[in-house]
Amino acid sequence: MTSASSLPATILTIDSTLRDGEQAAGVYFTRAEKVAIATALDAAGVSILDAGFPIVSREETAAFAAVAAAGLRARVFATVRPDIVEISNARKLGAQGIFLFFPISRILSGLIRTMSLSQFQEVIVKAVQHAMDLDLEVIVVLEDAGRAGSGTEAETIERLRPEGVTSFIIAESVGALTPWAMQAKIKELCNSFPDLKFGIHCHDDYGLATANSLAAIEAGALYFSGTVNSIGERAGNASLEEVIVACRNLLLRETDVDPRHLCKLCRLVEEISGLVIPPIKPISGSNTFKCESGLHSRALLRQKGSYEPYAPEQVGQERSFSLGKHTGMEYLDHLLAEQEISLDDGPKKVLLAKIKGYQEEHKSAEMRDFVMTCRTFQRSHSGLNMEIFQHLLAEVKEDGNGPDPD
């Protein structure tokens, strides 16, 4: 563990919803939608926006420029490769900083990075120098650090530190580390380079992205990178809302985000992305503060918070109760009192029995049909289908060898 006196006073959030979140298969944000999400993130207090990868398309370029011009308090960064033209373009589009990606694992060597580590370091150095000449803040992202060989991160950091790079993100690109391995890695880096700032970017392939982010924060990381509703490539990213709340409530660390904005933010991204929040999703799920169990309901009616980890108001939620098979007499009494209805014990017991048995007698195939509809929707919206591809291909063939798009 890093000593408490050396830990950052406030954990800063890098939101990647606009870039890594949109990389989830089938997800697409329009320019106006990106600005709406960016504005909501800014209102919540997020410090840095990973606002996009401008080189991807004309649409991405225009959307990035719109976010950069929105007058936000949050700093707007572009994700770029170590390419002089890309970096210059980011500056022209209004970027205040860049995330410079550096694949450091041997697995990505030869796939994304087609030269040796030392050769690529020289390319990165030139990119850093160019960015700093343009007055851009530079954060170097050490991609796939979880599968990098021992000492690889330190070697790269040593090469870039003299160039003025003070911030590095350890990117757990495929969720391959356990929390204790992550904690050891960040602790070692923080102890070896106490003058530098480290951040964490975790993917959720093993369901450990939130845990790994918290482990890194506890070990001394200043930044964490996450996405709203965990959306992102494959199994998604660290959940911004989960890390924020757990950081405040479990690690007792301050963050830059006001958690009262979280549920509203989650619902906005749900509506725009088309990826529905599961009812049991921590923080924002519709069941997160809803209780049906008779024992739990009785406890909550007698003492708020008895079966809650934190107050629902903290994250913009509300406490509620559900009628069903597990309903108890105390909640039924509460419900009847709310409606100013008086029943004797006998009729009340009959009513409770009817409530408990209703779903058994009336459950239909409607729920299964709903699930099948959702699955069909997800398949049909997971990117363009082959019919659309063939249509676009036919258009290109018909047009001949016209000019390339800008």
Query: Within 13 Å, how many C-alpha atoms sit on residue 115's CB side?
Result: 8
Same domain, 41 and 123: yes
- Evaluate if residue 1 carries a pLDDT over 50: no
159 found inside a domain: yes
Predicted pLDDT of residue 108: 65
pLDDT of 361 above 90:
no
In whole angstroms, what is the distance from residue 227 CA to residue 172 CA?
A: 14
Domain end call among 273, 307, 338: 273
Q: Are 51 and 68 in contact (CB under 8 A)?
A: yes
C-alpha distances out from residue 105 to 99, 140, 150, 298, Å: 18, 15, 10, 54
Domain shared by 240 and 103, yes or no: yes
Q: Who contacts 91 (Cβ-Cβ below 8 Å, separation ≥6)? A: 134, 135, 136
Report yes or no on 323 lying in a domain. yes
Query: Does a structural domain hold residue 241?
Result: yes
Asked whether residue 266 falls in the same domain as residue 329, the answer is: no
Across 150-184, b (16+ Cβ under 10 Å) vs e yields: eebbeebbebbeebebebbbbbbbbbbbebeebbe
Residues 265 and 302 in one domain: no
C-beta neighbour count of 365 within 10 angstroms: 8
CATH code, 187 = 3.20.20.70
- Once rounded to an integer, what is the mean pLDDT over residues 203-220? 96
288 within some domain: no
Is 90's pLDDT higher than 90? yes
Q: For the chain, what is the largest distance between any 2 Cα atoms, rounded to a whole number of angstroms?
A: 84
Phi then psi for residue 326, to 5 deg, are -100, 5
In this structure, are 182 and 98 located in the same domain?
yes
Whether 15 is covered by a domain: the verdict is yes
**Averaged over 97-102, what is the pLDDT?**
93
Q: State pLDDT tens for residues 131-151.
A: 999 999 999 999 887 777 666
Average pLDDT taken over every residue of the chain = 89
End-to-end Cα separation, the chain, in angstroms: 51
Q: What is the pLDDT of residues 279-333, one digit of tens each?
A: 999 999 999 988 878 788 888 888 887 788 899 999 999 988 888 888 888 888 8
Q: Which residues contact 103 (CB under 8 A, 6 or more apart)?
A: 109, 111, 112, 113, 143, 144
Q: Is residue 283 part of a domain?
A: no
Query: Looking at the domain assignment, is residue 356 inside a domain?
Result: yes
Reading the block at residue 79, the tokens are 């994700």
In Å, how far are 81, 232, 283 from 53, measured between CA atoms? 9, 14, 29
Contact between 210 and 243 under an 8 Å Cβ cutoff? The reply is: yes
In the structure, how many helices (H) and strands (E) does the chain have?
14, 11
Report the C-alpha gap between 62 and 60 in whole angstroms.
5
User: Residue 406: which pLDDT band, with cuts at 50, 70 and 90?
Assistant: low
Q: What residues make up the domain containing 385?
A: 368-399
Residues 323 and 382 in one domain: no
Determine contact, residues 382/25, Cβ cutoff 8 Å: yes
If asked whether residues 89 and 130 sit together in one domain, one would say yes
Distance, C-alpha 114 to centroid of its chain: 29
96 & 21 share domain: yes
What pTM did the predictor assign?
A: 0.88
Same domain for 108 and 156: yes
Is the distance from CB of 197 to CB of 166 less than 8 angstroms? yes
**Domain-embedded: residue 278:** no
Same-domain pairing of 131 and 167 = yes
Among 273, 303, 319, residue at a domain's last position? 273
What value does the mean pLDDT take over residues 191-202?
A: 96
**Greater confidence, 257 or 117?**
257
Angle at the Cα of 284 from the Cα atoms of 279 and 290, rounded to 5 degrees: 55
CA–CA separation, 127 vs 92, rounded Å? 16
Domains contained in the chain, number:
3
Question: Do 342 and 258 lie in a common domain?
Answer: no
pLDDT of 16-59, one tens digit each?
999 999 999 889 999 999 999 999 999 999 999 999 999 989 99
Q: Strand 97-103 vs strand 75-80: parallel, antiparallel, or unpaired?
A: parallel
Which helix or strand (DSSP H or E) is residue 341 part of? none
When comparing pLDDT for 317 and 8, which is higher? 317
Adjacent-strand bridge partners of 102: 142
Give yes or no: residues 319 and 195 share one domain: no
